[in-house]
Amino acid sequence: MAFQEVSYRPAFGRTLAVSTVVVCAFGVIALFWGDAASAIRYVWPIILVAVVAWALFWRPSLRMQEHGVTVVNVFRTFFIPWPAIRAIDTRYSLTIHTSRGKVPVWATPAPGRHRAFGLSAKDFDGVGTSARGEHESLRPSDALSTPSGNLAQAIRGHWESLSAAGAFARGEDPEAQTVTWHYGTITAIAVLAAATAIGLLV
């Protein structure tokens, strides 16, 4: 069965992350240029904002691979093998339902109301049957012209093809699905938050 790997990281998120980090870098330079002694106290919240912006807007991504789907969120990375998937939903963001629970994909939030108003029937052509709810209903976030809908359909299409071909006949390997915590990011944010509080209160 032919397979094409898919990788997605939102361009707007990357732009926002870079812009925020650049502004923060100028802020740090300005602080030390003006008063180095005061900068030691007040530089931490600026660095905290830069780290949070990187974690929120640069890091999140999705990668569709031959053996499963890798979802990189702010604090955790999930690897979901194809047999572990139970459903794909796009209500608030692209969400993959597995035998262990739900995995939201931070990189693909559902489109806003203004984007939804601009959709037409053509945007839903080719959406898989498993995406349809009661009375064949579809959400705006299922539209193939939106990142959430497009990626959901890519995952759903390959998952349905594998299922139809009998690839899941042996069942699921309970050890195949993994969760990796981003301890470095968590520690950095906690330390910077503490330094910010100390710098502002002392």
**CA–CA separation, 159 vs 64, rounded Å?**
11
The tokens of 198 are what? 């100390």
Helix (H) or strand (E) holding 95: strand 93-98
Q: Is 57 exposed, middle or buried (0-12, 13-18, 19+ CB in 10 A)?
A: buried
End-to-end CA distance of the chain: 63
Q: What is the pLDDT of residue 194?
A: 95
Q: What is the pLDDT of residue 123?
A: 47
| DSSP codes, 29-98 | HHHHHH-HHHHHHHHHHHHHHHHHHIIIIIS-EEEEETTEEEEE-SSEEEEEEGGGEEEEE-SSEEEEEE
The pTM assigned to this predicted structure is 0.83
Could you tell me the mean pLDDT of each successive run of 10 residues in the chain, 202 residues long? Answer: 82 94 95 83 93 96 94 97 90 88 88 52 52 50 68 88 86 87 97 91 76
Q: What is the pLDDT of residue 144?
A: 59
Q: What is the pLDDT of residue 140?
A: 55
CB 88 within 8 A of CB 95: yes
